[in-house]
Amino acid sequence: MTSSPSSSREAERGSRRASPVGHAAMRSANLSLLLRHLHSRGGRSRATLSQETGLSKASVTSLVQDLVERGLVQEGQVERRGTVGRPGTEVRIDPLHVAGIGLELNVDYLAVCLRDLAGEVRFTSSIPMPYVADGEPADGEPARTADGCSARVADGRSYPPGLVLDRVAELLDESLAVAAEAGLWVAGITIAPPGPIDYDGASVRLASNLGWADVPLGEELAARLGPEHPPLALENDAKLSALAEAPRLARRGITDLVYLTGDMGVGAGIIAEGRLIRGWSGFSGEVGHIGLDPAGERCRCGRRGCWETMVGFDTVLAVLEKDDPARSGRLPMLERLARIRELLEADDPRLHDRFTALVEDLVRGVGVLVDVLNPQAIVLGGYFGHFADLLVAPVQTALDERLLAADGRVEVSGSVLGLEAAAAGGAAVALERVLEDPLLAPAVTPGA
């Protein structure tokens, strides 16, 4: 290591403050600044990067070199902008070496998504949620005594955590194998359970639709994945879906939105002024349990007349014949939704009545959210999003009619990410680790 006399004097004088740790932290922060800039703004020349970030050209060159060595950015293609002078080499996000995984644990299905750093989906898969029907043994495991789970939920089914987490681990192993095969280093895994999370203990506090309370998801999965697995984190499904949808809306200047999951339960992911709102203890967005009808039906949470007893997916299933294939939790969710679509198109009168009532009941709850949060946009996810063509327009009209002030108008739309929204958001959140600290990514072998 060499240094000029003056800089070594400065180093001596400032040794208490300017420690090597301080230098490393500064370099890491600058690497993160450049990587995030390229990630959000797209490929550009070093000169443009220097102009836009305020870093010197020499710093940009050295930092880009470091990012290239870690497989985070690549150089090559000529920058398209500008016509005069020597064309610059474009620096852009490298899609070949780093990825993140998200997995949603929904009452009806498990969905996994592997995304590379450039945002391309490299692998997705979804399977029906495994469960045990009343009186049925679960591969030798007694359904009632599984850790943290004793409640029988909808239609006499129960969801022993052991059974579910075995399948979750299989899906994760499959995704990790795809990543390894493609030469992708996985920065992290985000699991989205359907309920509030204890972030410190990596457990699910309560998922009333699965009958789970205080299930140590992080610990259980870590044990199943073995010692070499990427870091695991938990985040709520509605919050991840909101994060996944947010960039699309942000490009249109929408920074305040509420994403609604439409499943057995209903949850909201709230983004205000561009930031995810978790609430004091992570319980924000439990909107499915807003009490809207004191004389209404008993909810799985124990209260009466919760919003999700009026708009949850099982209110649709309840009007179908007992033996209708759409009611079978053993069928993939998309096939169940296709079956419901088929019945609607065949003018099934009970389903038509259900969807008419659904619009009214959606508006009752959404109206509360609009009055409390004043969002610019409401995004309908889950099964609401699947039937966006039937729900968005009437919900929008009804909300417009109850406007308090003209500038309080909220835009209603269906999710564009479908049933994979939470898993896609989970993969994006996992990639945040490396955007925050690019030095986490291992060096790649040249040509790899």
Are 67 and 438 within 8 A, CB to CB?
Answer: yes
Q: Is 249 in the site for Zn ion (CB under 5 A)?
A: no
- C-alpha span between 291 and 123 (Å, rounded): 40
- C-alpha span between 444 and 448 (Å, rounded): 7
Q: Is 149 in the site for Zn ion (CB under 5 A)?
A: no
Shortest Cβ distance from residue 369 to Zn ion (Å)? 16
The neighbour count for residue 42, using CB atoms within 10 Å, is: 11
Shortest Cβ distance from residue 422 to Zn ion (Å)? 20
Binding residues with Zn ion: total (CB under 5 A): 5
**Residue from 303, 339, 341, 352 in contact with Zn ion (CB under 5 A):** 303
Strands (E), 172-265: 185-192, 197-198, 203-207, 212-215, 232-234, 257-262
The neighbour count for residue 227, using CB atoms within 10 Å, is: 6
Q: Is 343 in the site for Zn ion (CB under 5 A)?
A: no
**Residue from 68, 292, 301, 331 in contact with Zn ion (CB under 5 A):** 301
**Residue from 215, 258, 306, 390 in contact with Zn ion (CB under 5 A):** 306
Shortest Cβ distance from residue 158 to Zn ion (Å)? 19
Give 109 or 307: the residue with its C-beta nearer to Zn ion.
Answer: 307
- C-alpha span between 257 and 246 (Å, rounded): 8
Q: Is 299 in the site for Zn ion (CB under 5 A)?
A: yes
Are 237 and 260 within 8 A, CB to CB?
Answer: no
Residues 273-292 that bind Zn ion (CB under 5 A): 289
Closest CA to 119 of 179, 53, 40, 232: 40
Q: Is 272 in the site for Zn ion (CB under 5 A)?
A: no
Strand 257-262 to 377-380 pairing: parallel
Shortest Cβ distance from residue 309 to Zn ion (Å)? 7
What is the pattern of x (binds Zn ion, CB under 5 A) and - over residues 21-60?
A: ----------------------------------------
Q: Is 248 in the site for Zn ion (CB under 5 A)?
A: no
Shortest Cβ distance from residue 303 to Zn ion (Å)? 5
What residues have CB less than 8 Å from 355, skipping those under 6 apart?
344, 387, 390, 391
Q: Is 151 in the site for Zn ion (CB under 5 A)?
A: no
Question: What residues line the site for Zn ion (CB under 5 A)?
Answer: 289, 299, 301, 303, 306
